[in-house]
Amino acid sequence: MLTAFVLLACAVYIGTKHAIKNSKLGISIIQLFVVGIITCVAYTFAIATKDVRQSEMGYAVYFAGVDWILITFVFYARQYTKIWLDNYASPLITTTIAVLDNISLFTNYKWHHAFTLEKRELPTTEWFYGFKIHDYYYVHLIFCYILVAIIIAILFKKTIQTSGFHRNRYFAILVMFIGIILLNVLYLFFDFPVDVSICFYAVAAIFVGYYSILYNPKTFVEYMLTTITERMDCALISFDENDTCIYSNQFANRMFCPTGDKRVFEERFRKWKEGRESNSIANTSWNEVYNINGDEYRFDIHFNKIYDKKGYYCGCYMSFYDVTGDFIAYEEEKYRNSHDALTGALNREAFFEEVKAILHENIGVEYVMVCCNIKGFKLVNDMFGAEEADRLLIRCAEVIREKIQPGATYARLESDKFAILLPKSRYTEELFYTGMNQVSNFLNNAQYRMVILMGVYEIYDRDAPVISMVDGAFLAIDSIKNNYKNSIAYYGDMLRREYLSEQKIVGEFEEALQTGQFAMFLQPVVNMDKKVALAEALVRWIHPDRGIIAPISFIPLLEKTGYIYKLDMYIWEQAVKRLAYWASMGHDDISISVNISVKDFYYVDLYECLVGLVEKYNVPPERLKLEITETIFMTEKERQLEIINSLKEYGFLIEIDDFGSGYSSLNMLKEVPADILKMDMAFLSMDGNANKGRKIVNTIIALAKALDMLVVIEGVETQEQVDYLVGTGADYLQGYYFDKPLPVKRFEETYLL
Ligand code: C2E
Ligand code: CA
Ligand code: CA
């Protein structure tokens, strides 16, 4: 009973504390204990009762219990050792045999084929029921001993195979198990009065519980920890309370002390502590560069103190993580992100940052921004090839690097554009002219003379955006872009005023559009009978302070900044509205041409917008003529052509404006399905070689006719021009000779009455 009680206590302890955590192993132990308890109780009952039937039942349960103890022990041994021996201990077979054996044992009271009871006298006057074996009992016994053999085999195998650290765990269980079996053998075969092995079940339970779950060999943990620290990818050095080095791992020895003499560490530690109040040195970490055998290493270092449970200082350790690789990678990444890969100059963003910092940190120093640009760099690419062009850029960067000293900085902003910030006191034209000559001599040959243009911007307002300083310098370059030798220009007062007025225009634009400061003017286009058949919509800015501003002052700027589409959409709507109004007045024979900028192709869905307008005001699309110029061919030609084709298909008429002003006019003719060709007299100076000019006009008109196009000649200013044009086959004429662009009201009063 006592044994059963101890088993129960163990079961409860393990059950509550560990079984849940250790899952299968814990469950197997609990099962083992429960079966053990039942077996113990049954045996105690069998020898305690004086009733033969009850005792017989007790023995049956006891024998059956032994079957289940052994089966659960096999299960436990497998979980414990992770050795399966499936061929010998298949759970299905063993359980089936056990069930059959149990049936045999429980039916024994009927046939007494396994055992019978007989009274046993004790040395005292007491007696109890013992049992006597019959044939069938041997079946039970053989089954039990097979299980015993399996258990011993499993434990034995594990004991041999495991490392020295763990052998004890398995060996102890093995010895305990064999001990109990020996006691049992004694009882069975040497006629011991009672089964003393039962009493040792409790001892076994404690063994099993302890070794399976609680036991954790200290030496093993120590071994593991030292191995781990030895192999760690960082240097570890530990000191006791007297700063004696008690441990350093391989990494540390390799790095700092190949001889392995721990005093080296102590000396270094002492030096590190020097000047620090040792009590006040707290746990810290920092980065430090060490020179080891000529190589530079960067370490991430951690210093940690260790206290015992009561809070007394007992030692410390330092760990050194080698972050050299990370650091180099970080530096390289930083460099890549801030520098131009080709020339090694700063890139645009980094340069802007750097300029801001320099201007901020050197308040007393005056600076200039110098930008340079190789004239016709594209030509260099075409003539000499990309490789040579690259070498030229590298040369540029080299020369700049040589010329500017510390305290200045430079960048390649984009392709052939460089920018330099340097103190005004160091700037001289001579310095830059020699630099430019050094670069331009690099490529000059008989056919090509390289020209570098340079713009200088003096920085007055150091808080202004850096971009405006660079813009200023480039604006200066723009003013000399027609020079054919190396030149320097300055962003002077005039340039500055222009720049500011541009800024002003952009700043005022939105509000002007909203408050109706933009007006559509109409210039009549007449047919050869001098009848007005058409009008061109031309915008005017009616500025409240500055009066009427001509498009030349704001259209290029709005195109540059991308706002043009807003203005154009506004004018297109005005035009369509007017067409609708005229139609309602009975003038449905007159159409309007509107200008379309190349930027419009990018900022609006032209098809949706224009179709939307004519549908909204119910105007036939052929009454709105769309003027496009060959600048639309400069980028994404295919895309633009697709849009034009769809507009043409819808019914709009397409006009090629300013025919002959650029270099791709003939291409335009070939590819754009235009209805009208528009040519400006101004492109054909009629005074110098009038004869030739006329021949050209005649030929172009003939060409347009051959392509089924109507021809508009614009810029017609004189009677003489008109006289000549009458005979050329041109269809329409436009120009000051007939009328200037007029406010809509004036146009209507003059031509629509
Ligand atoms: P453009 O499309 O070639 O327009 C013709 C220009 O020639 C107009 O200048 C017109 O006033 C001018 N002109 C007319 N007859 C004569 C003449 O006999 N002799 C001379 N020398 N010039 C004449 P404007 O109105 O100053 O427009 C200049 C340019 O601005 C236009 O050239 C056009 O490209 C652009 N533009 C005007 N309005 C708009 C608009 O609403 N949207 C867009 N995107 N561009 C526009
Ligand atoms: Ca036009
Ligand atoms: Ca034109």
pLDDT in tens, 519-546: 999 999 999 999 999 999 999 999 999 8
Give the pLDDT score at 21. Answer: 59
Q: What ligand is nearest to the CA atom of residue 659? A: 3
CA of 536 to the centre of ligand 2 (A): 7
Please indicate whether residue 568, judged by its CB atom, sits closer than 6 Å to ligand 1.
yes
Q: For residues 592 and 536, give the distance between their C-alpha atoms in angstroms, rounded to a whole number.
A: 6
At 634, the pLDDT band (50, 70, 90 cuts) reads confident
CATH 3.20.20.450 domain span(s) along the chain: 510-751
Is the pLDDT at 361 greater than 60? The verdict is yes
Place of tokens 């614009």: 714
Query: What residue's CA is closest to ligand 1, atom 7?
Result: 715
Residues 176, 524: Cα–Cα separation, whole Å: 119
Q: Is 717 in the pocket of ligand 1 (CB under 6 A)?
A: yes
Cβ of 340 less than 6 Å from ligand 1: no
3-class DSSP assignment, residue 259: coil
Whether 523 lines ligand 1, by a CB cut-off of 6 Å, is yes
User: For position 377, what pLDDT does the model report?
Assistant: 86
Q: Is the CB of 715 under 6 A from ligand 1?
A: yes
For ligand 1, whether the C-beta of 197 sits within 6 Å is no
Looking at the chain, the domain(s) classified CATH 3.30.70.270 span 343-491
Ligand 1 pocket test: pick from 568, 597, 714 the residue with the most ligand atoms within 8 Å of its Cβ: 714
Which residue owns the Cα nearest ligand 1 atom 45?
595
Ligand 2 centroid–CA 595 distance in Å is 5
Q: Return the pLDDT at 741.
A: 97
272 φ, ψ to 5°? Answer: -65, -35
Q: Is the CB of 603 under 6 A from ligand 1?
A: no
The residue count of the chain comes to 753
| pLDDT of 8 over the 80 cut | no
Q: 626 CB less than 6 Å from ligand 1?
A: no
Counting from 1 in the atom list of ligand 1, the atom nearest the Cα of 559 is: 44
pLDDT of 446: 65
CB-ligand 1 contact for 540 (6 Å cutoff): no
Answer whether residue 425 shows pLDDT above 60: yes
The pLDDT score that the predictor gives to residue 441 is: 81
Between the CA of 673 and the centroid of ligand 1 the distance, in Å, is: 23
Distance 628 CA to ligand 3 centre (A): 9
Q: What confidence tier does 485 reach under pLDDT thresholds 50, 70, 90?
A: confident
> Alpha-carbon distance 434 to 440, whole Å?
10
Separation between Cα atoms, residue 437 and residue 432, nearest integer Å: 8
pLDDT at 482: 77
pLDDT band at 268 (very low <50, low <70, confident <90, very high): confident
Q: How far does residue 537's CA lie from ligand 1's centre (Å)?
A: 9
Using a 6 Å cutoff on CB, does residue 550 contact ligand 1? Answer: yes
CA of 454 to the centre of ligand 3 (A): 34
Distance, CA 628 to ligand 2 centroid (Å)?
8
Q: Which of 538, 558, 632 to mutate to test the pocket of ligand 1 (most atoms within 8 A of CB)?
A: 538
| CATH code linked to domain 510-751 | 3.20.20.450
pLDDT digits (tens, 9 = 90+) for 651-672: 999 999 999 887 777 888 889 9
Candidate ranges 237-246, 683-692, 723-732, 734-743; pick with highest mean pLDDT: 734-743
- Residue 742's pLDDT is 97
Among 3-17, 64-78, 337-351, 434-448, the minimum mean pLDDT is found in 3-17
Superfamily of domain 226-327: PAS domain (3.30.450.20)
CATH 1.20.1070 location in the chain = 2-215
- Ligand 1 within 6 A of CB of 632: no
Contact 152, 177 (CB under 8 A): yes
The answer, yes or no, to whether any atom of ligand 1 lies below 6 A from the CB of 564, is yes
Separation of CA 550 and ligand 3 centre (Å): 15
Nearest residue (by CA) to ligand 1, atom 3, is 658
Q: What is the mean pLDDT of residues 390-394?
A: 92
- For residue 626, give the ligand nearest its CA: 2
Q: What percent of the chain has pLDDT over 90?
A: 53
* Separation CA 116–CA 64 (nearest Å): 16
Ligand 1 near 713 CB (within 6 A): no
Topology at the third CATH level for domain 343-491 = Alpha-Beta Plaits (3.30.70)
Residue 125: per-residue pLDDT: 77
Q: Would you identify the CATH topology of the domain 2-215?
A: Rhopdopsin 7-helix transmembrane proteins (1.20.1070)
Residue whose Cα lies nearest atom 12 of ligand 1: it is 715
Residue 22 has pLDDT above 60, yes or no: no
The residue whose CA has the least distance to atom 15 of ligand 1 is: 735
Say if residue 735 is exposed, middle or buried (CB neighbours under 10 Å; 0-12, 13-18, 19+).
Answer: buried
Q: Whose CA is nearest to atom 37 of ligand 1?
A: 538
- DSSP 3-state assignment of 228? helix
| Residue 444 reports pLDDT greater than 60 | yes
Predicted local confidence at residue 196, as pLDDT: 79
Q: Which residue has the tokens 């007394």?
A: 312
Residues 117/131, Cβ–Cβ less than 8 Å: yes
Q: Is the CB of 315 under 6 A from ligand 1?
A: no
Average pLDDT over residues 149-153: 94
> Quick check: CB of 677 below 6 Å from ligand 1?
no
pLDDT per residue as tens digits for the range 97-121: 999 999 999 999 999 999 999 888 8
Q: Which two tokens stand for residue 134?
A: 């019959």
Task: Output the CA 704–ligand 3 centroid distance in Å.
Answer: 17
Atom nearest to 597 CA in ligand 1: 44
For residues 392 and 401, is the Cβ–Cβ distance under 8 A? no
Residue with tokens 């046993």: 120
CB of 479 shorter than 6 A to ligand 1: no
Q: Is 120 exposed, middle or buried (0-12, 13-18, 19+ CB in 10 A)?
A: middle
Side chain identity at 530, as an amino acid letter?
A: K
178 lines ligand 1 (CB under 6 A): no
Answer yes or no: is the C-beta of 513 below 6 A from any ligand 1 atom. no
The pTM of the full predicted model, rounded to 2 decimals, is 0.48
What does the alpha-carbon distance between residue 695 and residue 702 come to, in Å, rounded to a whole number?
Answer: 10
Cβ count within 10 A of residue 279? 7
Q: What is the pLDDT of residue 7?
A: 74
Ranges of CATH 3.30.450.20 domains, the chain: 226-327
Q: Which protein residue's CA is at the shortest distance from atom 33 of ligand 1?
A: 595
What is the Cα–Cα distance from 466 to 448, expressed in whole angstroms?
A: 34
Pocket of ligand 1 contains residue 653 by CB under 6 Å: no
What does residue 258 show for φ and ψ, rounded to 5 degrees?
-60, -25
Q: Whose CA is nearest to atom 27 of ligand 1?
A: 551
Alpha-carbon distance values, 52 to 44, 101, 378, 657 (Å): 14, 22, 118, 127
The CB of 597 under 6 Å from ligand 1? The reply is: yes
* Residue 430 binned pLDDT confidence (cut-offs 50, 70, 90): confident
Q: Supply the residue whose CA is at minimum distance from atom 23 of ligand 1.
A: 715
Compute, in angstroms, the gap from residue 577 CA to the centroid of ligand 1. 21
**pLDDT-derived band at 494, boundaries 50, 70, 90:** low
In the reported structure, the alpha carbon of residue 189 is separated from the centroid of ligand 1 by a whole-number distance in angstroms of 127
CA-CA distance, 327 to 629, in Å (whole number)? 55
Question: Can you list the positions of beta strands (E) in 327-388?
Answer: 367-374
Nearest-CA neighbor of 205 among 384, 37, 64? 37
Q: Is the beta carbon of 700 within 6 A of some atom in ligand 1? A: no
**Is the beta carbon of 510 within 6 A of some atom in ligand 1?**
no
For ligand 1, atom 4, the nearest C-alpha belongs to: 538
Q: Taking the chain, what is the end-to-end CA distance rounded to the nearest angstrom?
A: 129
Which ligand gives the minimal distance to the CA of 600? 1
Among the bound ligands, name the one nearest to the CA of residue 680: 3
For ligand 1, atom 14: residue with the closest CA:
735
Q: Which atom of ligand 1 is nearest to the CA of 596?
A: 44
